[in-house]
A and B are shown apart, each in its own frame.
Chain A
Amino acid sequence: MWSEITKKLQETVQNIMPQVEAVIGWERGFNEIRIKPVVIKKEGDISKLVWNPFCVQNLSGYLVKSPAVIPREGRRVAICVKGCDSRSVTALIQEGFLKRDQIFIIGIPCSGTVDWRKVMKRLERSSVIHRAEIKDGRLMVEHAEGVEEIPLREILLRRCLRCVYPNPTVSDVVIGETVSPHIEKEDLYKDVEAFERKSLDERRKFWAETLSRCIRCYACRNACPLCICQDWCIAERRDPKWVTQKPTLKDILLFHGIHALHLAGRCTECGECERVCPMEIPVMFIKEKLNETTLRLFSYEAGIDSNLVPPLLTFNPHETGI
């Protein structure tokens, strides 16, 4: 099934190659469950492209952060997107960072991607993977110590288990069959609601413990396709002096507060921040709360309709509800 889609993907790219400067997709990494991003610029490389549930990365950040592939007048770039990734692309179009006609979007419906860390935890001592295959909702891994079979649901990323937009919301071509979401839309924020039912002390304790793990590596920020300040991020600048480099909980909290608030009404819940965090901090959870508020106050979800203006980026005196 995955090889079929991969084949179709390669054929599609073959066809559009003359119209585009580059194609951003995924290729195999150092083993089968570790996939990495790839930029295809010549036909000979097309065979590198793959698609399977290990294609975790949201590639849309490259369209705005990577000078080599930033689309512009006379340089059209193709990009492969899952459902969640497509929302990032739409959000970038909404905010004027991308022009729709400068990108070619290859959409791939996705029934969930695999959290390699969950897999590794199941393999106990072993870390060398010889072969991995997903079939009939189960992952089969041949590793140094033997063979392990794990139901797919148990190793999906948290973001995928709560995904309601598994099919690309914007695309020029779709490869693969439409899939249905894992949860109902009304359950989207049930984790947030459950958390909010806890006492203030419990919540404070949770965040103090969780965030104190943060090493301020800024991986979360760097992976976010909508975090666009790059070298000018105020988390690293000292003028204006919002945060210091001191490793205190206060500074960490402030950094995450800034990160989240800069994404308020913009975050598409692609979950990249959380996926890349080496300290396994549920970074997206903070943004889920903001998104829950955005939805409640403005009936707005980011990255769905490229004609809408994000609610916090407009001055609308008729605003109701606040």
Chain B
Amino acid sequence: MRIGVFVCQCGTNIASTVDTERVAQEVKKLPDVVYTTTYMYTCSEPGQQEIQRAIEEHNLQGVVVAACSPRMHEPTFRRAVEKAGLNRYMFEMANIREHVSWVSNDREANTKKAIELVRMAVAKLRFNQPLFPSRVAINKRVMVIGGGVAGIQAALDCADAGLDVVLVERRTSIGGKMAQLDKTFPTIDCSSCILGPKMVDVAQKENITLHAYSEIESVSGYVGNFAVRVRKKATYVDWKACTGCGVCMEKCPSRKVPDEFNEGLSFTRAINIPFPQAIPKKATINRSYCIYFTKGKCGICAKVCPAKAIRYDMTDEVVTEEVGAIIVATGYDLFDPSAYGEYGAGQYRDVITGIQYERILSASGPFGGHIKRPSDGREPKDVVFIACVGSRDASVGRPYCSGVCCMYIAKQAILTKDHIPNSRSYVFYMDIRSPAKNYDEFVRRAQEEYGVQYIRGRVGKIYPRGDRLVVQGMDTLLGIQVEVEADLVVLATGIEASRGARELAEKLHISYDQYGFFMENHPKLRPVETNTAGIYLAGVCQGPKDIPASVAQGSAAAAKVLALFARDTIETSPQVASVTERACIACGKCIEVCPYGAIRWKELKGGVRKAEVITTVCQGCGLCNATCPPKAIQLQHATDNQILAEIEELCA
């Protein structure tokens, strides 16, 4: 092979601590290396032209660039060599910047290490093979999982662009957490007034198929061609017939069913429509409270339903949806405050959570929009808000900031004053986080116009005194202990990953962080892509954020899907696993370990089985290769021979 080596100075980034000239001279002595040079900025246009000129002039068959991390510029150089007529995989990069010049000032040692890295790259290049991508057709339907505001936005944007959309929501109505909110910061506009129309749009768009009360059973396939099995849970009501009139709900004798939508502050019926604006507006029977299911008799709803929609014998149904891309927008759940025993959540009825307070504030909430204490229905005068309950606290495993609590506390304090003008609000906080547009002004308004008292410090204890609560804490600015008597205490419970997020991630083969939030491909440059091609993220499922950011991500994810679907076929990377059939002993270990389900059995004549890689699904992680005992399965462009050649060179 005729190999050319280009040692980049990267201005002074590399040249200041690596003797690039010497690197070029030394590697010139290697067998097969016929041309070496150094260059100021190899990635620049003239730098790339220099590579192309050398390829032509010296008949190079392979190129090594010793420069920066391949993450950024490998594609650049691959394109450059391809333009000069080489296959783009006849190129190797040695990282002598992040791995060498930036980590040490020892010029001698650096130069030696740089030479070693280039020698390894050359050793590998000798085993490189031209590789060619393949193309597959795209099924231009998209699935959105989770019907909160992020998922709704994504679904609507895709539908507006003319795509067929399948929206899967776990609960009986879409809307997510935003549907439960009263008003929204920083503009204090009514949550359901701005979300409601979007929810109605979802119901009315003909190209959106909504599977409510449904969950993902399994996912197979790959970008452009996923097959998703969706379990439609039994509602015991034929939704095609149900008109949402609500007569059943009125007549249902099982009246002590905790109302989830109202966060347990009121009761609903065993058959219910979760809230008036629900989409779809259909009734569902809650089996654990239904007298028919628990005691075997009743059947009142079936008698009263004018549409004859009740079906006690209904069972779950599994449907398969074929889509080309998936947007995951499964949102979040809230921290259980009982972890802080000293706050008495669950023990004192007037210690409530922020989301419960949203319901109390809401006109459609448990108290018709009048602020009352859950214990005795009395209107509170002194309300204490406690920030960071299950946020920024490593001792409860939640070291991260939930991002929205500072803001919704300010909102709720303002609303409290609006509802009860002679009330007083106090906020115990650690720091105030209000960085977005108009946010800090909003918090200041709470403090200055609404007279909300902010006390910087943590609360140590809450205990009852008469029918009120004493909140004891530290004011760290004044350095004194403070005690506030309150009628109502609101705990700003932190955001945590949605229940079942990890299990869903495993079905989708996407990664998640230690807290269960789904991982984006790159925190800055690819924020709504996952590591699995064709699967995108939107909203809080990726990490805590507010409504504007969730909506922006919903639209961003939709844009990514549209970009993907703008072509009819997609190119797949050839850097995937491939089986040498004669060496495969059919042990099946690769099939077991592949996290992407990318390997299956192939039957040859006479019933002989061999492993087969579905190249479009394979992500090139290499687990199969590491596991395969006879090394029959090899990762293209990172074969055992290539890696062994590098090690051999390093240890030589």
Contacts and interface: CB of A to CB of B under 8 A. Distances in A.
Nearest to B641: A240
A315 interface: yes
Contacts of B640: 240-242
A172 interface: no
A321 interface: no
A242 B631 contact: yes
A177 interface: no
Given A232-B632, A314-B592, A314-B593, A241 B627 contact: no
Interface stretch (B156-164, B266-274, B316-324, B582-590): B582-590
Given A315-B594, A317-B502, A232 B630 contact: yes
B585 A309 contact: no
Contacts of A313: 589, 592-593, 627
A262 B629 contact: yes
A242 B641 CA distance: 8
Contacts of B512: 317
Contacts of B588: 95-96
A312 B566 CA distance: 41
Interface in B567-590: 583, 585, 587-589
B623 interface: yes
A230 interface: yes
A240 B629 contact: no
B639 interface: yes
Contact of B593 (A95, A234, A315): A315
A312 B592 CA distance: 10
Contacts of A97: 587
B514 to A, nearest CB: 11
Interface string B44-88: 000000000000000000000000000000000000000000000
Interface in B468-521: 502, 506, 512
Contacts of A68: none
A239 interface: yes
Given A313-B593, A315-B595, A232 B585 contact: yes
Given A312-B627, A315-B623, A240 B592 contact: no
A317 B506 contact: yes
Contacts of A318: 502
A242 B629 contact: no
Interface in B620-639: 623, 627, 629-632, 634, 639
Contacts of A262: 629
Contacts of B594: 315
Nearest to B623: A315
B247 interface: no
A229 B629 contact: yes
A314 B583 CA distance: 22
A98 interface: no
A96 B586 CA distance: 10
Contact of A240 (B502, B595, B644): B644
A240 B623 contact: no
14 contacts: A95-B589, A228-B585, A228-B629, A229-B629, A232-B632, A234-B631, A240-B631, A240-B634, A240-B639, A312-B593, A313-B592, A314-B593, A315-B595, A317-B502
Interface string B314-351: 00000000000000000000000000000000000000
A233 B627 contact: no
Interface string A97-133: 1000000000000000000000000000000000000
A229 B644 contact: no
A228 B585 CA distance: 8
A318 B503 CA distance: 10
A97 B631 CA distance: 18
Interface string B510-552: 0010000000000000000000000000000000000000000
B585 A229 contact: yes
A313 B628 CA distance: 10
A228 B595 CA distance: 24
B589 A241 contact: no
Contacts of A240: 631, 634, 639-641, 644
Interface of A: 95-97, 228-230, 232-234, 237, 239-242, 262, 309, 312-315, 317-318
Given A95-B587, A240-B639, A233 B630 contact: yes
A52 to B, nearest CB: 35
A271 B593 CA distance: 27
Nearest to A313: B592
Given A234-B629, A309-B592, A317-B506, 18 more contacts: A228-B585, A228-B587, A228-B629, A229-B629, A237-B630, A239-B641, A240-B640, A240-B641, A240-B644, A241-B641, A241-B644, A242-B640, A242-B644, A262-B629, A313-B589, A313-B627, A315-B593, A315-B595
Contacts of B585: 228-230, 232
A283 B526 CA distance: 50
A66 to B, nearest CB: 15
A52 B188 CA distance: 87
B582 to A, nearest CB: 8
A315 B589 CA distance: 11
A241 B648 CA distance: 11
Interface in B226-259: none
Interface in B599-627: 623, 627
A114 B631 CA distance: 37
Contacts of B502: 317-318
Nearest to A259: B629
A318 B592 CA distance: 16
A240 B625 CA distance: 12
Nearest to B594: A315
Nearest to B648: A241
A240 B630 CA distance: 9
A315 B587 CA distance: 16
A262 B631 CA distance: 11
B583 A232 contact: yes
Contacts of B589: 95, 313
**4 A-B pairs with least C-beta separation:** A240-B640, A232-B630, A229-B630, A315-B595
Nearest to B582: A232
Nearest to A230: B585
B362 to A, nearest CB: 38
A139 B627 CA distance: 45
B562 to A, nearest CB: 31
B513 to A, nearest CB: 11
A182 B154 CA distance: 66
Nearest to B634: A240
A309 B588 CA distance: 13
Contacts of B632: 232
A204 B23 CA distance: 36
B120 to A, nearest CB: 16
Nearest to B588: A96
Contacts of B593: 312-315
**In the complex, which of the residues A95, A232, A262 has the most CB atoms of chain B within 10 Å of its own CB atom?**
A232
Contacts of A228: 585, 587, 629
Contacts of B595: 315
A275 B182 CA distance: 76
B220 to A, nearest CB: 16
B234 to A, nearest CB: 30
A241 B502 CA distance: 40
**In the complex, which of the residues B585, B627, B630, B634 has the most CB atoms of chain A within 10 Å of its own CB atom?**
B630
